[in-house]
A = this chain, B = another copy of it.
């Protein structure tokens, strides 16, 4: 089975450099944030977001080298992503992420808020200094969408009337907006036609949705060890995702359990059992597969290259996490 890392072969050198740059950026200047930086930009991340930016950069620049601005954009995407994770963990009071204690649980809310603000601030500043107003607008839209998504997620907790369309919108705000807008921004920096830039947006959007749907399926099918948190964590906290929403159509009693927020003993276990017996997981897999296929469709206008090939394989890799 191909690992994510070998998929990134065309941009492997750039990705290692990026991780070092980010650690130095946050850690070196401020001892108070050093431990947080080591923690944030340590080994555990998969760097999917900067990899997409760099692969789109290579695929659109063709024979020419990618530019320092493409590299900076890749750093910005990882900074924005990390800043939003750090603040989400404070808001959600999460203790673990991928099995590792979160910044706020290791260092306290104080450092978590500071580190997130510093990363957001640094990313706005780098962004402005890319000197491209279109790119500034694309990424500031991402920052808005992430904040909007976090608020919507709070508002829709335990709301069993959520539709699949609402769920996809929520997933767009949470995950796909960053991949979509940064893939487009990378194409804009390459000076492509606006049609091709829009296709790269489409790739990022569909890829991001497939990625999030797979993540949400794994919350039900994965083991505590694989997930770094107990299975069913999303459901327990009221974050309703594709498998539950599909299951609700078949098993109306689920609604009762959700509306009372799993308050009675055995509620959560019963809900998990109902979902497992339903077509919820199977239909969610189909939904993820659909978006992965749509993502690949968006690549057809790109000339053939190792980077285009890697973008295609990346969608397979996301789906293979399910098996």
Contacts and interface: CB of A to CB of B under 8 A. Distances in A.
A133 B128 CA distance: 7
Interface string A91-132: 101000000000000000110011011101110110111010
Interface string A132-155: 010011001101101110110011
Interface stretch (A26-34, A190-198, A219-227, A286-294): A26-34
Contacts of A117: 87, 116, 120, 146-147, 150
A110 B91 contact: yes
A243 B80 CA distance: 39
A235 interface: no
Number of copies: 2
Given A90-B110, A117-B87, A129 B125 contact: no
A155 B124 contact: no
Contacts of A129: 137
Interface of A: 30-33, 87, 90-91, 93, 109-110, 113-114, 116-118, 120-122, 124-125, 127-129, 131, 133, 136-137, 140-141, 143-144, 146-148, 150-151, 154-155
Given A117-B150, A128-B137, 20 more contacts: A32-B154, A33-B151, A90-B110, A91-B114, A113-B113, A114-B151, A117-B120, A117-B147, A120-B147, A121-B140, A121-B144, A121-B146, A122-B144, A122-B147, A124-B124, A124-B144, A125-B143, A125-B144, A128-B133, A131-B133
The 10 closest A-B pairs by CB, nearest first: A121-B147, A128-B140, A124-B140, A128-B137, A125-B144, A121-B143, A118-B147, A128-B136, A121-B144, A125-B140
